[in-house]
Every structure is written in C-alpha cells, then in structure tokens.
Amino acid sequence: MKFTVTILGSGAALPTSSRKPTAQYIECRGRKILIDCGEGTQMQFRKLGIKFQRIEHILISHLHGDHYFGLVGLLSTMHLLGRKKSIEIYAPKELKLILENQLNYSGSRLAFDLVFHEVNSNESGVLFEDDKMSIEHFPLSHKVPTSGFIIKEREKERKLIGDLVQADKIRIEHFQSLKEGKDVIDENGKIIEAKKYTRPAESAKSYAYCSDTRYYENVIPFIRNADVLYHEATFTEEFMDRAKVTMHSTARQAAKIAKQAGVKRLLMGHLSARYESGDKHVEEAKEIFEQSEVVEDGNVYDLSA
Amino acid sequence: MKFTVTILGSGAALPTSSRKPTAQYIECRGRKILIDCGEGTQMQFRKLGIKFQRIEHILISHLHGDHYFGLVGLLSTMHLLGRKKSIEIYAPKELKLILENQLNYSGSRLAFDLVFHEVNSNESGVLFEDDKMSIEHFPLSHKVPTSGFIIKEREKERKLIGDLVQADKIRIEHFQSLKEGKDVIDENGKIIEAKKYTRPAESAKSYAYCSDTRYYENVIPFIRNADVLYHEATFTEEFMDRAKVTMHSTARQAAKIAKQAGVKRLLMGHLSARYESGDKHVEEAKEIFEQSEVVEDGNVYDLSA
C-alpha cells in the first residue's frame, strides 16, 4: 500500500533557486494530503507531474507566509481546471478570513466547497480518520500559533497465502477472520490456523511533521516511534542565537528530538537561505542521530518500501 | 537613458512551465517599476538576477489572482532582506485590506511603509511624475475594475556638441538655454545658435500596458503613438466565444487596437495555457499590424535602443 512523501519545497522564509517555500505532498493508502503551501506550490506540482486535483486534505501548520502564500493560487487554479469536489482545510481559523477576503475581491466564487476545520494550536487531537489511516495534530512552539502533524496508517491485515488456501480449499467466508489473525473452525470441526494460511501483516507506518518550531520536547509523546520524522532545521549550531530569536531549531536539536522520540529516520528541511548545501546540517545531526538527512525539493520518500 | 521592459510572466490565469503569471519590471530613466505581481514573481526576479529591492513603484492593474497573488510574498521577502525604504503601491483600494489582513496574522510588521494610492478604474490621470518620466492610468474593460498604464519619458534636451562648444569657447552659463533649443545672445551681442552647437534631442519614448481587457477602443486616446504597446491576447479568433465570456482579447483584436492607436510596436502576452506557442497569435495579428510579436518570460525590450 502506497505511503509516500514528496518534498515540494524545503526552503525557509526566503526562497532560493533550489529550495522553494515549504510544501509537502503525501499519499497514504489512497488519501492525498498537502501539508503547507508556500508560494509557487502549484508550479512545483506541475513541474513534478503530480495531479493536484486529487488532493482531499490540506493541512496548514501556521500563518507565516512561506507556509501558505501559495494556497489561494492553488485553489484558484483547481477552480479554473474544473474542480467540483470539496476540499478539507485544517488550519488556524484566521486563514478562512484571509482566503474569503481574497476570493471575494476577484469577483468569482469557487465551484467547490472549502470545508474549514479550525486547528487550535494549543491542543492535540485527531483531524481525520478512516479505515486506512488517520491524521493527528499537536502543538509546536513558534512565534505564532503552530501545529505539527502525524499521519498514521491503521494496523494492516495479514495476507492470505493463495496457493495453500486454494490447495486446501479454504472457503471464502473464512478469509476475513484469517486475515485478522483469528483461527477458524470449519464445518467439519477442523481448526484452520490463521498462522498457517496467512503471512504476517506489514507493520503500519507513520510520518510526523514538525515545522516550524523551536527545540520543544513536548512533541516527543506525539511522534514517538514514527517511521519518518520531518523536523525543521533552519540553522546549524553556529547560528544558535538566530535560532533562539526566530524560534527555529538547529540540526543538532532536530536530531536530539529524533533520538529521544525513537523515530527510525530523520528528514531535515526548512534550511535558511544562507546555506548552500545541507552538508553541515547532516554532519551535525549525525553526531546525535545516525539516520539523519537533509531533504531536497523534488525528493520522494517511500514509507511503504 | 535606460528604458527597458522585462517580462517576468506572460501567462494567463493558469500558469504553465514556460509562462508564469503576469508581472513586468520596468526601468525608465532611473525609476524602477513593477507592473502586476503574479504568484512566483519573487522567484522570477531571482532567476533573472534583478535587484528587486530597488523597486519604488508597484502598479496592480486589477485584483484577479494571476496579477497580484505574488505581491505579499515579494513584500515579505523585501522586509526579511532588510528593506527600510517605503514603496508606493497603486492599485484598487481593496488590495490594502487584503495585504493588511495577511500581514497582520503573520504576527510581524514590515519595517518599511506601504504607501497606498487608490486607482479608480473608472478614471484616468497621472499617478506619478518627476522631471524624467510620468506614469498614467486609464480604464480597461474586464470582469472586475481594471486599469491600463502608460509610462512616458519627458521630452529630452538637445545634446551639446562638445568639440564645437570648446573650440568656440561658448560660456557655461549658456549651456542650459542651448540644450533647450533656445538661441542665446552673448556678451558681445553675437547670436549663438542652438541648432549649430547642439544635436537634436532623442525622442521621448513611451510604454503602454493593457492587461486584462476585452477589445475596447476607448483606450486608444490614452495609448496613441506609444512606442511599445503591450496588449493582452489571451486567445486567437477561433476562441472568440471564450474571449467574449471571459472579457479577454484575441490577437486580432490586440492588433486592431495597435493599428488604430498608431503605436510603433505591439507586444502580446497573457496567452491562454491552451497554446503551446505564440505562433498563431503572431500570424493572426500580423494580418492587421505587421510589428506584432508575442513575448516570452525573461525577454527584455529596450525602448531606448
């Protein structure tokens, strides 16, 4: 089952030629999610050949421009391309006013509904869930109200071993119980063992997103054991003063969070425009947490692999 | 004296990989002007290596998103890069509310002033003038209130012929009169002829901008004899129905305006995303007006050449 994260923009407040403002596209078991939407996100979708009309959920972490200035343009383009299907937006409540204000003066109404869900950045909770996955939010600590997100697959079912099931003529009405790991007694009183006829379920994966935030240990319970953690690392330690003033994190701090939370892999982004590459970030983070890397625009991370 | 127009974006409502949303950068005798500011304009400035901090005047033709969604991002970036100098914005009055609304929720104040000048799209008049140039506005006809602009150089002075002035020992206090084309009587009662000691002034150039608009002959008096006319040509004649409904122009209509106004050169832009090239537009326009061409993003037009 597909679970991918595509980096549309990995820059900070000042976009550079190689790092656009923040945006990420996630496909998780058929659900299409956009996290943040900096200026130019619609062009990044085009460049990468991603069908953005299929997006169902848009999560906006906070109202700094580099995380949402591209949203009104993306929605307008969806409209012009004929979208009719509503879209769910999870964001600080003021975003509704900002968008309505802009759309109002353009003299046109979108032909699809924007369904707003206010995200209170002081709280945590579930934003969406179905039988395949869930989206949760939790507080970050930044200069304006900001939320982090975690997308989790539901526990998966065991897989039937087709040849064996067929050879032993296991009846179809038993399949679901076997996939759920439950043994079944057939019509002759014989026990059909789930373990025998199914392979173990793949483990359910999770993706956590923490941007923007200062070093903030309160996030740890929410992201514990995530398969992949994206954590902002605007600076390296040499600019700790700037990190403090701007309430951003260093690479070392991102790695400390990753280590304490026991995640499997750390992706760092939101790099300040002063860095020409992410080499220093990686070096610094690896001293604390080996599975650290810096993302680049256009990179795709496959959690299902 | 420099007078250049740089095309930052020449696309219509739906940006493509080769045509970004509308924006143009004009340098006219030292003045730096931005006309319209579609999403991604700040990235186009970077890509083309243009020092956008020097912009003094921003003209916004109308409040359709493809003409202004990049403005708040550009202003934020100017702020982050340390701008202190105020900037003049000429636009429909609602833009002020839109920008204030967005900047307000980002929790930061710009360190420079936005000086708003309301442009009433039912009127024409002078927006700015100094001793070198002027910016005027005039009504266009589109789905929302929209203005066209014309940037005109002031009449220039004649140029002294250095060798002759020196040889005949013409005194410095006579220079200004001679440059203005006035003959002077010197201290000995001798007539110093301006025509003899100066070369003719270069002609003052003008650049007219009409986007977005339906075919609208009322613009002609305002743009008459312009050296360069930029006129939108969203469609070709085969999509006349679409042009009518959306209140845009065809290439043929743009050429008709150019011809009737007696301009020297027509630049067409704002091409619908349905066109892969501007060839059809050029072909169609040239039947009416030979000096027609379609602009491309990144093109620079030098009016002083």
Mean pLDDT to the nearest integer, B170-174: 92
Mean pLDDT to the nearest integer, B279-297: 98
Query: Nearest CB to B106: which of A63, A70, A81?
Result: A63
Q: How confident is the model at residue B122 (pLDDT cuts 50, 70, 90)?
A: very high
Nearest CA in chain B to A105: B63
Q: CA A292 to CA A3: how far, in whole Å? A: 20
Please state which of the ranges A103-117, A118-132, B19-33 shows the lowest mean pLDDT.
Answer: A103-117
The whole-angstrom distance between residue B121's C-alpha and the CA centroid of its chain comes to 17
Cis ω for the linkage preceding A212 (within 30 of 0): yes
| Residues A1-18: b if buried by 16+ CB within 10 A, e if exposed | eebebbbbbbbbbbbbee
Whether residue B94 lies within 8 A of chain A, CB to CB, comes out as: yes
Mean pLDDT to the nearest integer, B50-64: 97
Please enumerate in sequence order all residues whose Cβ is within 8 A of that of A261, keeping only pairs 6 or more positions apart, or say none.
A208, A219, A220, A223, A224, A225, A226, A229
Mean pLDDT to the nearest integer, B142-166: 94
Is residue A301 within 8 A of residue A267, CB to CB? The reply is yes
Q: Cβ separation of B106 and A64 shorter than 8 Å?
A: yes
| Count of Cβ atoms closer than 10 Å to residue A182 Cβ | 13
Whether A1 has a pLDDT exceeding 90, the answer reads no
Enter the tokens of residue A233: 């690392």
| Count of Cβ atoms closer than 10 Å to residue A167 Cβ | 9
Q: Which residue has the tokens 């003959």?
A: B183
Q: Which residue has the higher pLDDT, A285 or A102?
A: A285
Summarised one tens digit per residue, pLDDT across range A80-116 is: 999 999 999 999 999 999 999 888 887 768 999 999 9
Distances B125 to B116, B150, B206 between C-alpha atoms, Å:
16, 10, 16
Q: How confident is the model at residue B101 (pLDDT cuts 50, 70, 90)?
A: confident
Q: Give CA angle at A211 (A206, A214), nearest 5°.
A: 120
Report pLDDT for A243.
97
- Residue B293 φ then ψ, to 5°: -150, 165
Whether residue A144 lies within 8 A of chain B, CB to CB, comes out as: yes
Report pLDDT for B35.
98
Report pLDDT for B108.
67
Is residue A278 within 8 A of residue A10, CB to CB? The reply is no
Mean pLDDT of chain A: 95
Whether residue A105 lies within 8 A of chain B, CB to CB, comes out as: yes
Q: How far is B77 from chain A (nearest CA, A)?
A: 6
B297 is catalytic: no
- Residue B8 φ then ψ, to 5°: -90, -35
Mean pLDDT to the nearest integer, B52-59: 98
Whether residue A127 lies within 8 A of chain B, CB to CB, comes out as: no
Q: How confident is the model at residue B4 (pLDDT cuts 50, 70, 90)?
A: very high
Best residue in A39, A61, A64, A76 to probe B by mutation, most B CBs within 10 Å? Answer: A39
Report pLDDT for A105.
81
| Residues B54-71: b if buried by 16+ CB within 10 A, e if exposed | ebebbbbbbbbbbbbbbb
Q: CA A232 to CA A234: how far, in whole Å? A: 6
Please enumerate in sequence order all residues whose Cβ is within 8 A of that of B115, keeping only pairs 6 or more positions apart, or say none.
B86, B87, B88, B89
Contacts of A39 in chain B (CB under 8 A): 39-40, 42-43, 69-70, 73
Q: How confident is the model at residue B300 (pLDDT cuts 50, 70, 90)?
A: very high
Is residue B296 within 8 A of residue B7, CB to CB? The reply is yes
Bridge-based pairing of strands A198-199 and A147-153 is unpaired
Q: CA B272 to CA B22: how far, in whole Å? A: 12
Enter the tokens of residue B52: 């956008």
Best residue in A8, A37, A43 to probe B by mutation, most B CBs within 10 Å? Answer: A43
Q: How far is A39 from chain B (nearest CA, A)?
A: 6
Please enumerate in sequence order all residues whose Cβ is within 8 A of that of B187, keeping only pairs 6 or more positions apart, or say none.
none
Contacts of B95 in chain A (CB under 8 A): 105
Summarised one tens digit per residue, pLDDT across range A147-170 is: 999 999 998 889 999 999 999 999
Of A50, A56, A9, A6, the residue nearest A31 (C-alpha): A56
Q: Which residue has the tokens 């929209």?
A: B146
Whether residue A47 lies within 8 A of chain B, CB to CB, comes out as: yes
Please report which residue ranges of A59-218 form alpha helices under DSSP H.
71-80, 94-105, 162-167, 175-179, 194-197
Mean pLDDT of chain B: 95
Helix, strand or coil, per DSSP, at residue A288? coil
Contacts of A108 in chain B (CB under 8 A): 143
Q: CA A211 to CA A214: how far, in whole Å? A: 9
Whether B305 has a pLDDT exceeding 80, the answer reads no
Domain ranges of chain A: 3-156+202-302, 159-199
- Residue B53 φ then ψ, to 5°: -65, -20
Whether A17 has a pLDDT exceeding 90, the answer reads no
Whether B287 has a pLDDT exceeding 90, the answer reads yes
Whether residue B16 lies within 8 A of chain A, CB to CB, comes out as: yes
| Count of Cβ atoms closer than 10 Å to residue A199 Cβ | 10
Q: How far is A134 from chain B (nearest CA, A)?
A: 29
Estimate the crossing angle of helix A94-105 against helix B94-105, to 10 degrees: 160
Q: How far is B69 from chain A (nearest CA, A)?
A: 7
ipTM of the complex: 0.86
Whether A7 has a pLDDT exceeding 90, the answer reads yes
Report pLDDT for B109.
83
Whether residue A98 lies within 8 A of chain B, CB to CB, comes out as: yes
Query: Nearest CB to A72: which of B46, B69, B81?
Result: B69
Report pLDDT for B106.
74
Q: Cβ separation of A46 and B17 shorter than 8 Å?
A: yes
Report pLDDT for A6.
98
Q: Cβ separation of B63 and A106 shorter than 8 Å?
A: yes
Longest dimension (CA), chain B: 74
Query: Nearest CB to A40: which of B39, B66, B105?
Result: B39
Give me the active site residues of A, please.
66
Enter the tokens of residue B261: 């106004």
Whether residue A143 lies within 8 A of chain B, CB to CB, comes out as: yes
Q: Which residue has the tokens 């005047």?
A: B57
Whether residue B168 lies within 8 A of chain A, CB to CB, comes out as: no
- Considering the four listed CATH numbers 3.40.50.300, 3.90.700.10, 3.40.640.10, 3.60.15.10, the one that applies to the domain covering A3-156+202-302 is 3.60.15.10
Mean pLDDT to the nearest integer, A209-227: 98
Summarised one tens digit per residue, pLDDT across range B218-275 is: 999 999 999 999 999 999 999 999 999 999 999 999 999 999 999 999 999 999 999 9
Report pLDDT for A106.
74
Report pLDDT for A108.
67
